[in-house]
């Protein structure tokens, strides 16, 4: 083997090691941030995992009892029949006493056709309330919308 061939093989081995190291670092460092147990951020994170996995029962377990009862009569197709992949990024969380707001940027990716996929990004605010030492989502969260029951008003006279 000539000197130039050894130099070329040695350079190739060093480059392969650098690429493998970079990939390993990306896998180790690029994982999902897991928020501390018992925080509003963690409740929203677990809710979004349940939505992504299309599990209505676990998703609604993160709602207050009142909201869960109201959503029990709502069609749950947005969770059960999800066709898009989901990516969520925490923008900010604010806690004031027994209430919290968690702002999340949600990106949904649809399809994978020959010209690429379509994406939709929106910012959603989750409102949470502390109920017996646990945070629960207190307003209709994405992707569910559970309207309050219509109130019948007496006819004007």
Partnered with residue 16 across adjacent β-strands are: none
Return the minimum-mean-pLDDT range out of 16-20, 116-120, 122-126: 16-20
Spans of all domains in the chain: 35-137
By C-alpha distance, which of 66, 90, 78, 45 is closest to 145? 78
pLDDT, tens digit (0-9, with 9 covering 90-100), for 43-75: 999 999 988 888 888 988 999 999 888 887 666
pLDDT at 124: 92
For the segment 26-49, the average pLDDT, to the nearest whole number, is 83
CA-wise closest residue to 144 among 124, 120, 117, 116: 124
- pLDDT per residue over 77-123, tens digit each? 667 766 778 888 999 999 999 999 999 998 888 777 677 778 889 89
Given a contact cutoff of 8 angstroms between Cβ atoms, the answer to whether 70 and 98 are in contact is no
pLDDT at 18 over 90: no
Q: Higher model confidence: residue 147 or residue 18?
A: 147
CATH of 35-137, one of 1.10.1740.10, 3.10.450.50, 3.10.20.30, 3.30.70.20: 3.10.450.50
């Amino acid at each position: 083997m000539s000197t130039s061939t050894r130099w070329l093989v040695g350079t190739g081995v060093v480059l392969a090691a650098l690429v493998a190291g970079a990939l390993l670092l990306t896998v180790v460092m690029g994982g999902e941030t897991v928020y501390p147990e018992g925080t509003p951020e963690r409740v929203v994170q677990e809710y979004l995992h349940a939505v992504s996995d299309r599990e209505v029962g676990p998703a609604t377990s993160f709602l207050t009892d009142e909201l869960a009862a109201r959503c029990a009569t709502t069609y749950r197709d947005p969770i059960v029949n999800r066709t898009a992949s989901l990516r969520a990024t925490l923008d900010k969380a604010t806690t004031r006493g027994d209430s919290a707001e968690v702002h999340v940027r949600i990106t949904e990716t649809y399809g994978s056709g020959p010209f690429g996929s379509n994406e939709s990004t929106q910012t959603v605010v989750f409102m949470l309330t502390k109920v017996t030492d646990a945070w629960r989502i207190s307003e209709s969260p994405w992707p569910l919308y559970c309207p309050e029951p219509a109130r019948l008003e007496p006819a004007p006279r």
